[in-house]
Chain A
Amino acid sequence: MANTRSLSNATALRDENVLRRVRHLGSARDGLQEWRLQRRTALALIPLGLYFVASMLRLATSDQMTAAAWLASPVPALLTILFVLALLAHAVVGMRSVLVDYVHTRARLVAAELLVRGAAVVLAGASVLAVLKLFLGR
Chain B
Amino acid sequence: MERPLSPFMFPAWYRFQITSVLSILHRLTGIALTVGSILLAWWLVAVAAGGEVFASTHAFIASPIGVLLLFGWSIAFFYHLCSGIRHLAWDAGYGFEIRDAYRSGYAVLAATVVLTVLAWLYVLLA
Q: Which A residues are within 8 Å of any B CB, using their own CB?
A: 10, 13, 39, 42-43, 45-46, 49-50, 53, 57-58, 60-61, 64, 67-68, 71, 80, 84, 87-88, 91, 94-95, 98, 116, 119, 123-124, 126-127, 129-131, 133-134
Contact A126 B41 (CB under 8 A): yes
Contact B31 A95 (CB under 8 A): yes
Residues on B with C-beta less than 8 A from A60 are 123, 126
Contact B74 A53 (CB under 8 A): yes
Chain B interfacial residues counted at CB < 8 A: 31
Give the Cβ gap from A116 to chain B, nearest Cβ, in Å: 8
Give the Cβ gap from B72 to chain A, nearest Cβ, in Å: 14
With an 8 A cutoff between CB atoms, is B109 at the interface? no
Using known A-B contacts A57-B122, A64-B58, determine if residue A42 contacts B88 with beta carbons closer than 8 Å.
yes
Contact A43 B45 (CB under 8 A): no
Residues on B with C-beta less than 8 A from A61 are 123, 126
- Bound-state CA distance A21–B48 (Å) is 49
Q: Is the interface of A mostly helix, strand, loop or mixed?
A: helix
Using known A-B contacts A39-B91, A98-B31, determine if residue A133 contacts B37 with beta carbons closer than 8 Å.
no
With an 8 A cutoff between CB atoms, is B30 at the interface? yes
Q: Which of A98, A119, A131 contacts B27 (CB 8 A)?
A: A98
Q: Which of B85-120 contact A (CB under 8 A)?
A: 85, 87-88, 91, 119
Q: 25 interchain pairs (CB within 8 A)?
A: A10-B1, A46-B81, A46-B85, A53-B119, A57-B119, A57-B126, A60-B123, A64-B47, A64-B50, A64-B55, A84-B40, A87-B37, A91-B33, A91-B37, A94-B30, A98-B31, A116-B34, A123-B38, A124-B41, A126-B41, A130-B44, A130-B48, A130-B49, A131-B44, A134-B47
